[in-house]
Structure 1
Amino acid sequence: MYLIEWQMWMLLIDRAHSTDPKAKNSESASQLVYASDEEKDVQAARQKASSRPKMRGPVYKYSDHILEARAGASEDKRGLISILSTMVIALIILGTVATAHYATELISSIANVDSTIDGHALFLVTFFLALTSCYTAAYLKYGLKITRLEMFTSRHLLVRFNRLTGQVHLHRPLYCGGVVTLPWHGITSSAAPGGNGGALTLSLFWSSQTTKMLYPEIVWIGKVSTNPHEIQAEWEFIRRFMDEGPEGLPRPRITSHFPWPWQAFTPQFEGLSHYFRHSSQIIKLGLVLISPAFLIIGLGHWLSLLLCWKPRWPKIIREAGLPGKPIPPLTTLADRPPHIQERLRQNAHLWAIRPGQRPAKKPRATRRRAKPGNQSTTDKESSTDETHRADRPQT
């Protein structure tokens, strides 16, 4: 579920970028962004994107100044890691039970009057103990961090918009970047006019110039959709809520944090309803045939919800906007641990924005070379004149 967010955070603090001299001197895609491009995207995000604003959800809180929704780029794919992790954990538990069983038999044989050691029990205890220890050590070192992308972590990634403080709060686990507070002004959106209309999920972006943390921030919001108008309507709802207030906006349906079963099965079919209605009969039949796979993933999804806990905001963010309560400070580089700060400083060149405007492209001069054996009309005329001059008598 948090795979993309985890990979992005690992990319931001990757040591390879800071130690590779070629990476520092290379022209990466992020370095080709100019301040004029950033300003253009920010201005586009302030414009009207849809005439029918609608929040598709899930929305967990909605008031006069708070809008809290589900975030995350791969919520609909949640479940597969949970199934695989459950199988590995089950093997470890079975190995532990088998080791304890044969250890009991071994102790019973030693405790007898003749104190005879049962060689069969001793072999099985040694075998299962060694095998289970190897499984457990490998899982704790390599597998647990993958399991925590879906299990034994926060139940959902959250994004909270506070229109009174003009801030956006992102709730993520520490291994995905943690809880951060970002400014509303300076935000760009994939659903803004001129944005990435082909995106499947609404995404919001803050450049390194806006965050003041030497790296950009990005968050994906809500459900997956193949209809760009739904994504534009969702962004228009958020934009109008933050800039104008909740007046005139349709009240969204509030979703509970309790892990109901339907909350695990419905995400597997997000984005397929519009595609299903406009697809051919063969594709519809194929979707029906593979629907049991969606149900299996849904069971894993529900299992992951049951083995996670409800995310909780810090007190200063929960009380932000209330009378007499302080405004949360924006997250800065100093809020990170010292070793993370060093990594971010060393990789800052990857996300830097060039000042000024993008230089105009130079026109490329195209020169067509004449094919071998083909002479132009001018060449033919010049050769004919030279022949005539050679045939004339000299005086």
Structure 2
Amino acid sequence: MYFLERGFQWGKSLMSYEEATEEYSKKQRQPGQAELQAPEGVGESVCVAVNENGSLYAHNETYIDVRTPNDEKRGVITAFAGCIYGMFIYAFFLALFVSIEKFMSGHRLSGEPLGGSDYFIFTIFPILWLVVLGIFLKYTFRFFRLESLTARRIIVRFNRITRKVYLLRPKHLGGILILDWDKTEVLMDKSMSELEGTGGFVVLIWDKGDGVDLQGTPTDHLEMTFVGKPTRNASELLAFWEYIRRYMEDGPAAAPAPKKLLTKFPWPWLSFKAAWGLDTRFFRHSGLWVFVLINVLILPAILIHATGHWLSLLLCYEPRFPRVIEEAGR
């Protein structure tokens, strides 16, 4: 699930601040293409329309809490790795049960008494399954933690009173940071058209020293966060950033609350909806019904993904901002 964040943290460990700054200062899409025309800071409007993009957990006079693009991209690792872990654990207990039964009976299936080699085999067999499980965990557990046994979600809070952006992340993904809104850079082409802009999500960047951690230590490298549900086209992407920008610059009246906020409770049907990923517009256009048919044909795989998605939510904890951030600006 946290592939983008994990990849960024891994990238920071491979390059110095100077190298990272040079890389991001190029701001190019691909070699040979025009330079990215990013907005000149948070004060520049990029769109007439605003759209909250169905990405808000909270909206009030002080702050908005926004989701990240990770929510749907989870469950596959949990389902796959969980099955493998379960097989090894089942094999261990089965071997242990058989060994205990043989030790208590003292006889083989043929009725002959157990010999020294039999006791050795029945002792070592359960241990071998534990060793195999331990080796598998050693090389795969870090991937399992990308979507299970970690924070259930990353939350980006925009506080218009303190003019700060708060990143609620687990420690292995950078931890909690407090970043300056006025120093936020948006990695986005403000002039993108529907032909060249395929949507995506908002990417925000801060330079070295533009934020602090909870202990007040300034950041010593570039920081980045990915904001919002993936959009379908350029218009939605620009309108979503404009929604956030107007909330922070002009207030809640310029970016009104959505009719329905996102829930944080792990309802199982929400996991099915995330795994299915079928846009409702497919039902409104007969020419797109082929995508509905394809989804129906792969429904067993979707159900497996949805089950893994739900289990990964249940195996995670719900993160909460520290009290000092919760009370900031009130």
Same fold? TM cut 0.5: yes
Partner of 1:95: 91
Partner of 2:101: 105
TM-score, length basis structure 2:
0.79
- Residues 1:259 and 2:257 are matched in the alignment: no
- Residues 1:309 and 2:317 are matched in the alignment: yes
- Residues 1:54 and 2:51 are matched in the alignment: yes
Question: Residues 208, 25 of structure 1: CA spacing in aligned structure 2 closer, same or farther, 3 A cutoff?
Answer: closer
- Residues 1:77 and 2:73 are matched in the alignment: yes
> Aligned ranges for residues 172-211 of structure 1 at < 5 Å?
172-190=169-187, 193-194=190-191, 197-208=197-208, 210=210
Alpha-carbon offset, residue 3 of structure 1: 1.8
Q: Distance in 2 between matches of 1:25 and 1:311?
A: 33
- Residues 1:240 and 2:236 are matched in the alignment: no
> 1:171 is matched by which residue type in structure 2?
L
Alpha-carbon offset, residue 218 of structure 1: 2.0
Q: Distance in 1 between matches of 2:124 and 2:243?
A: 63
Q: Distance in 1 between matches of 2:329 and 2:88?
A: 48
Alpha-carbon offset, residue 244 of structure 1: 1.1
Alpha-carbon offset, residue 139 of structure 1: 2.8
Q: Distance in 2 between matches of 1:179 and 1:46?
A: 25
- Residues 1:216 and 2:213 are matched in the alignment: no
Question: Residues 266, 217 of structure 1: CA spacing in aligned structure 2 closer, same or farther, 3 A cutoff?
Answer: farther
Alpha-carbon offset, residue 90 of structure 1: 0.3
Partner of 1:4: 4
> Aligned ranges for residues 101-140 of structure 1 at < 5 Å?
101-109=97-105, 117=114, 120=118, 122-130=120-128, 132-140=129-137
Question: Residues 52, 28 of structure 1: CA spacing in aligned structure 2 closer, same or farther, 3 A cutoff?
Answer: closer
Alignment deviations for residues 75-132 of structure 1 (CA, whole Å, 9 cap, x no partner): 3221100111211220232133123313322441469xxxx546656524422321x1
Q: Distance in 1 between matches of 2:276 and 2:244?
A: 24
Q: Distance in 2 between matches of 1:183 and 1:138?
A: 44
Q: Distance in 2 between matches of 1:315 and 1:298?
A: 34
Q: Distance in 2 between matches of 1:5 and 1:177?
A: 8
Question: Residues 204, 29 of structure 1: CA spacing in aligned structure 2 closer, same or farther, 3 A cutoff?
Answer: closer
Bigger drift between 205-214 and 234-243 goes to 205-214
Q: Residues 41 and 184 of structure 2 are in contact (CA less than 8 Å); yes or no, is this contact kept in structure 1?
A: no
TM-score, length basis structure 1:
0.67
Partner of 1:13: 13
Q: Residues 282 and 291 of structure 2 are in contact (CA less than 8 Å); yes or no, is this contact kept in structure 1?
A: no
Q: Residues 205 and 217 of structure 1 are in contact (CA less than 8 Å); yes or no, is this contact kept in structure 2?
A: yes
Alpha-carbon offset, residue 140 of structure 1: 3.0
> 1:61 is matched by which residue type in structure 2?
A
Q: Secondary structure at the match of 2:155?
A: strand
Alpha-carbon offset, residue 174 of structure 1: 1.4
Q: Residues 79 and 300 of structure 1 are in contact (CA less than 8 Å); yes or no, is this contact kept in structure 2?
A: yes
Q: Which runs of 5+ in 2 are unaligned?
A: 29-34, 108-112, 212-217
Alpha-carbon offset, residue 245 of structure 1: 0.9
Q: Distance in 2 between matches of 1:257 and 1:158?
A: 11
Alpha-carbon offset, residue 151 of structure 1: 0.7
Q: Secondary structure at the match of 1:85?
A: helix
Number of matched pairs: 306
Q: Distance in 2 between matches of 1:152 and 1:27?
A: 33
Partner of 2:63: 66
Q: Residues 225 and 271 of structure 1 are in contact (CA less than 8 Å); yes or no, is this contact kept in structure 2?
A: no
Question: Residues 26, 308 of structure 1: CA spacing in aligned structure 2 closer, same or farther, 3 A cutoff?
Answer: closer
Partner of 2:138: 141
Bigger radius of gyration: 1
Q: Which runs of 5+ in 1 are unaligned?
A: 19-23, 323-395
- Residues 1:228 and 2:224 are matched in the alignment: no
Partner of 1:29: 23
Alpha-carbon offset, residue 208 of structure 1: 3.9
Q: Residues 225 and 272 of structure 1 are in contact (CA less than 8 Å); yes or no, is this contact kept in structure 2?
A: no
> Aligned ranges for residues 278-297 of structure 1 at < 5 Å?
282=290, 285-297=293-305
Q: Distance in 1 between matches of 2:246 and 2:308?
A: 37
Q: Distance in 2 between matches of 1:276 and 1:189?
A: 35
Alpha-carbon offset, residue 26 of structure 1: 12
Q: Secondary structure at the match of 1:43?
A: coil
Q: Secondary structure at the match of 1:250?
A: coil
Alpha-carbon offset, residue 301 of structure 1: 0.6
Q: Distance in 2 between matches of 1:25 and 1:190?
A: 18
